Structure 1
Amino acid sequence: MAHAEKVYKVRNGAKTKQFTWRARYQRPDGSTGSEPGFPTKVLAEEWGAKQEAQIKEGTWIDPDKYRSPFGQFARKYMAERPKRGRTVSTRWDLLDTYILPKWDHAPLISLNWFDVDSWQMLLPCDDVTKGHCVSLMSTILTGAVDARWLPINPVKGRQRTKAVVHTPAAPADEDEEKVFTAEAVLRVAERLGPAKGLHVITTAWTGINWGEGLGIQREHFRVRRQQWGKSHWECFVLRIAQEVAEYEERDEHGKKKGTVLKLEPTKNEWRTRDLDLPPFLARLWHYHLADWPYDWMLCTPSGKWWRRNNWGAKQLRPAADGRPERKKRQGCSYRAEWEPIAPGMTMRGLRHTHDSWQDQIGVRAALSFEQAGHKRPGIKRVYQHPTPAMRQARLDGLEEIFWEAMGNLGWSSLWGRVSLVKPPAAPAEDDLLNAPQTISMEDYRRARAGYKSSSEAM
């Protein structure tokens, strides 16, 4: 039973007549717990009785735990709640850069929404990062509640206060937000050559993200077959079932171990999907499968995964932004000048471009969410699903964008060796590889019109 004890104060090594009261109570494991510092015996006994009542109810939280520093539980949470490597790296970056410098030694029980909200308003970062910091803190504090280190999460479900901006905000970084023309995409791809250029074209015409592209292997090029009416509808697809993540690896205590490239499963169930390929892109992939000596289809010329910076700085940036002429000298070969084509082009920007093209050609929501790897909100996700007619309409629209760009550029082939063919009907694999002719945009339109007419007649 809870009771109270006197605790005499000591001065210069000698006990004085001054004292406070210590509460004593029985803990769940049978040991005796204590809490000092009460001014009266009644308050100490009441506090001890309250602890024993909560223990009987199953709601008791050890005071030693809720007084623990936030940083202590945050490190415990990171060690015992592993996520995908890139996610873990991002979380540690937020903790090291923004969260722990402020809250590392703050007792869990001392945290409150007013202080957290005031802190996030003054963080020296963009508003999205501020939101990620608060979200991560809330996730960790919810873990503390679940682990019985804290009675409630003071951050959960609260709406952040946006900082007052007295000067106009700087424009968003355009490098990540541009929508590029199909002509610009093709010119950059032509400049990069067949293997690297295919990566650019595939991103723009399918919306695949960087890590997903690196994770494509030969076996992921396949055929989609769906029953439709009296026959089957077919198209070539790229199966997205994994991705290559590049991140700063950490040990269980958060110590950096170096940057790594690792193969991981997709981020969630929505990211595992089959990307429908327009006929021209399926043909390019057939050529690539025949030429490329490696199992990883969008890797470096030596068969290794691309480093993000190496691809961006040494490949895509010069091809899109242009580069100066380099004279021949000892140790360096001559390099021709490249004029700018699409300054600011990035792989993320190409993904944005694809989604914008989908909206431009009127792709149905059920299909656009599926192809982008996004979870569609609302009840329509349950009731609406892509049909072959939707898929064909999307492929027709993407094919039209490609051929119109080729016509505007005056091109009938890419890289001086790949002649592109568009038969009027959906081709079989052998037809794709052995099609006898190249056609113009006008030929394509006439062929497509004839194909639609014949399909409607059926």
Structure 2
Amino acid sequence: MAYAEKVYKVRNGKKTTQFTWRCKYKAPPGHKPAWLTEPGFPTKKTAEEWGAEQEAAIRAGTWIDPQKLNTPFGKWVEIWKTANRRRPRTQSSRAYLLDKLLLPKWEYTALKDVNNVFAVQAWATEVSKPHGPHDPDTVAQARSLLSSILSGAEDAGYIHTNKLFGRRILAGVDHVDEGEEEVWAQPEDAQRLHQRFGGVQGLMVLTDCYLGFRWGELVGLHKDNCLLKRIDKIDGRPVVRHVIRVDPKVGALHEDPIELDEAGLAAWHQAEDARLEKCRAKGWKANRRKPPKSRLEVYLGPPKNKYSAREVDVPEFLVRLLDTHIEAWPYDHPFTTPSGSFWLRGNFSRELRPVADGRDAIPRKRGYAGREGWEPILTGFTMRGARHTADTWMKEDRVDRALRFATMGWVPKDIEGTYEHITPEMRRHRLDALTARWRRGRRVTLRSVA
């Protein structure tokens, strides 16, 4: 049975008359030590009541060892990471949020103290702009990761419950909304972007606006999966359509930052030594670069989920454009760089910016031919915005929900999605609507030029 005992305060090595109360209670069978203590109670009664609560929790099977409750957050994170392996890119994102936001604040804090909604809200406000160094969306991602880590601690019996679960914690005083809306295009915008960009880049933008692929699915596309023929029957007559297939095994390009281990870092230093030696041999001045924490691994792999492995119907005008391009393109992947290497997301985005946002003219001068200025077409437009565009158009054209989900590669989570099926008439309606949009976009573009 729990009991209380006095603990006298010591000052300058001598015991004083001031004291607090310490509770001693019996641990569960097999626990070492057999008796546990908890100090710091102001009265004998509060110490005994707390001990009685612990023994009641032990009998009910809901007791948690104080050693687990007092586990430092940083120590638990290492345990949690071992049990929650994810794709390299996900692991890299988690490592950034932990290193930059969570561990600097909570690394040595006990789990029971981290599991506090008020403390987490105060931290989110402190580190978010305009008063803190981090973007509110980044802080919101860190808070979500913190909740996942605490849920793991709850499942493992380190805390009673995750108090952050289901709680909406705003990241900063000015973070009212969930972020800016993605910029999407009208058909004439897509047409202008296609014409201004030109070449394979322009065709990539146009294709994504009409078909809505994820970035990795678009750049990872292989010739063998382009413009495959499928035959439907409408009113008893065969109807040919063309599709682009997202392969379930190698249908998407992945760009994963891989954390460098000792061997990888040694290889980097060796390559850096060789670079510096080469520069010195040529008489160039070169400084040693800072060692990276990770390297980028680019490879073809499965798309996002099993529903992402799909076939997307292609309207006839786009079939002609893609067929002409593929016939002349010398590489196996139709949407590579002109040299045949895979486009990286960041590299393509940098090229897209002046095309969509416009640019200033640079006059001709000696040694430089100059360049023309461009008016903005669609400021802030991205390739993610192209995917938004494809879905928005289908919604506006009243494309059936089942076909819209299948085209976008989304998971049908509700009972309606389980019982919905796609018919040839639905497919024809979507293709006809996209063709009408293409014609409208060309008319508007030609009229503005004239």
Question: If the length of structure 2 is used for normalisation, what is the TM-score?
Answer: 0.73
| Structure-2 change in CA distance of 1:50 and 1:361 (3 Å) | closer
SS at match of 1:275: strand
**How many angstroms does 1:204 deviate by?**
0.8
- Unaligned runs of 5+ residues in structure 2 are 262-291
Structure 1, residues 171-217: CA drift from partner, whole Å, max 9, x if none?
976xx733323233223323333322221111111111222212212
Aligned residue among 220, 232, 236 for 1:215 = 220
Residue aligning to 1:422:
none
Aligned equivalents of 2:80 and 2:139: distance in 1? 20
- Structure 1 range deviating more: 106-115 or 184-193: 184-193
Q: Secondary structure of the equivalent of 2:311?
A: strand
Name the CA distance, whole Å, in 1 between partners of 2:69 and 2:177: 42
Find 1:85's aligned residue among 59, 83, 88: 88
1:98 to 79, 101, 111: 101
2:274 is aligned to none
Residue identity matched to 1:397:
A
Matched-pair contact (CA < 8 Å) for 2:253–2:299? yes
Question: Does the 8 Å contact 1:23/1:47 carry over to 2?
Answer: no
Q: Which residue of 2 aligns with 1:153?
A: 162
Q: Output the amino acid matched with 2:400.
A: R
Q: Report whether the alignment pairs 1:72 with 2:75.
A: yes
Q: CA deviation at 1:116?
A: 2.3
Query: Which secondary structure does the structure 1 equivalent of 2:213 belong to?
Result: coil
Shift in Å at residue 153 of structure 1?
0.9
Match of 1:370 among 401, 406, 409: 406
Give the structure 2 partner of residue 32 of structure 1.
Answer: 33
Hey, what does 1:418 align to over in structure 2? none
Distance in 2, matches of 1:132 and 1:380, equals 31
Q: Measured at CA, do residues 114 and 399 of structure 1 come closer, stay the same or move farther in structure 2, by a change above 3 Å?
A: same
Could you tell me which amino acid in structure 2 is paired with residue 74 of structure 1? V
The reply on whether 1:236 has 2:242 as its aligned counterpart is yes
Query: Equivalent residue of 1:148, what SS?
Result: coil
- Pairwise CA distance, 1:264: 4.2
1:61 to 28, 48, 64: 64
- CA shift, 1:30, in A, is 5.8
The Cα offsets for residues 388-438 of structure 1, whole Å up to 9 and x where unpaired, read as 111111111111111232344449xxxxxxxxxxxxxxxxxxxxxxxxxxx
**In 2: Cα distance, 1:54 partner to 1:371 partner:** 53
* 8 Å Cα contact 1:187/1:341 also seen in 2: no
Matches within 5 A, 1:357-396: 357-376=393-412, 378-396=414-432
Query: Aligned residue for 1:143?
Result: 152
Aligned-residue offset at 1:81: 0.8
**1:342 aligns to what?**
377
- What residue in structure 2 maps to residue 184 of structure 1? 189
User: How many residues in Structure 1 have an aligned counterpart in Structure 2?
Assistant: 402
Q: 1:60 to 1:19 in 2, by over 3 A?
A: closer
TM-score by length of 1: 0.72
* CA offset digits 1:316-337 (Å, max 9, x no partner): 223332453474766x7x4642
Label 1:263 to 1:28 Cα distance change in 2 as closer, same or farther (>3 A): farther
> Matches of 1:48 and 1:217 in 2, distance apart?
67
**Local SS of the residue matching 1:32:** coil
Task: Find the aligned partners of 2:165 and 2:178 in 1 and give their Cα distance.
Answer: 31
Q: Distance in 2 between matches of 1:197 and 1:317?
A: 13
Q: 1:37 to 1:383 in 2, by over 3 A?
A: closer
Structure 1 segments unaligned to the other structure (5+ residues)? 412-458
Q: Which residue of 1 aligns with 2:119?
A: 115
Structure 2 counterpart of 1:216, one-letter code = L
Matched AA of 1:35? L
Query: Could you tell me whether the CA contact under 8 Å between 1:216 and 1:296 is conserved in 2?
Result: yes
Q: Residues 169 and 19 from structure 1, CA distance in 2 versus in 1: closer, same or farther, beyond 3 angstroms? A: closer
Residue 316 of structure 2 is matched in structure 1 by 279
SS at match of 2:191: helix
Distance in 2 (alpha carbons) for counterparts of 1:70 and 1:60 = 20
Residue of structure 2 in register with 1:317 after alignment:
353
Question: Structure 1 CA distance, aligned partners of 2:137 and 2:12?
Answer: 56
Cα–Cα, structure 1 residues 356 and 324, in superposed 2: closer, same or farther, change >3 Å? same
CA contact (8 A) 1:22 1:34 kept: no
Q: Is the 8 A contact 1:24 1:32 kept in 2?
A: no
Q: Distance in 2 between matches of 1:188 and 1:25?
A: 74
Question: What is the rounded CA distance, in whole Å, between the counterparts of 1:107 and 1:126 in structure 2?
Answer: 27
**How many Å apart are 1:157 and its aligned residue?**
2.0
> Partners of 1:200 and 1:134 in 2: how far apart?
34
How far 1:145 sits from its partner (Å)? 0.9
Q: Is the Cα contact below 8 Å between 1:23 and 1:34 reproduced in 2?
A: yes
Q: For residues 360 and 178 of structure 2, what CA distance do their matches in structure 1 show?
A: 26
Offset of 1:61 from its aligned partner?
A: 2.7
1:289 aligns with 2:326: yes
CA separation of 1:410/1:30 partners in 2, compared to 1, >3 Å: closer, same or farther?
closer
Shifted more, 194-203 versus 227-236: the winner is 227-236
SS in 2 for 1:319: helix
Q: 1:246 aligns to what? A: 255
RMSD of the alignment, in Å?
4.0
Residue in 1 aligned with 2:282?
Answer: none
The CA deviation at 1:247 is 4.7
